[in-house]
């Protein structure tokens, strides 16, 4: 399988991790998390500014709560 997995990286590029708002996850998946978005800083910032928040996570220091 290793040879097949190596080919995937060429097609899709390196894996990157992103932190997104609860609102965006709900929209992308169709799953409702109830009132959780009301307590999510990213969701609240998106509501106030109208700007979608996407933060790339390269390490623990990049995680925002």
DSSP symbol at 47 = H
Q: Tokens representing 53?
A: 């928040």
pLDDT tens, per residue, the chain with 65 residues: 666 666 655 555 678 899 999 999 999 999 999 999 999 999 999 999 999 999 999 999 998 88
10-to-17, 18, 40, 45 alpha-carbon distances in Å: 18, 20, 35, 35
pTM of the model: 0.70
CA distance 11 to 18: 20
Give me the DSSP letters along 1-30.
-HHHHHHHHHHH-S--EEEE-HHHHHHHH-
């Amino acid at each position: 399988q290793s040879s097949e997995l190596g080919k995937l990286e060429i097609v899709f590029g390196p894996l990157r991790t992103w932190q997104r708002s609860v609102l965006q996850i709900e929209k992308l998946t169709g799953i409702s998390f109830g009132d959780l978005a009301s307590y999510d800083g990213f969701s609240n910032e998106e509501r106030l500014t109208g700007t979608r928040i996407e933060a790339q996570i390269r390490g623990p220091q990049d995680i925002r709560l």
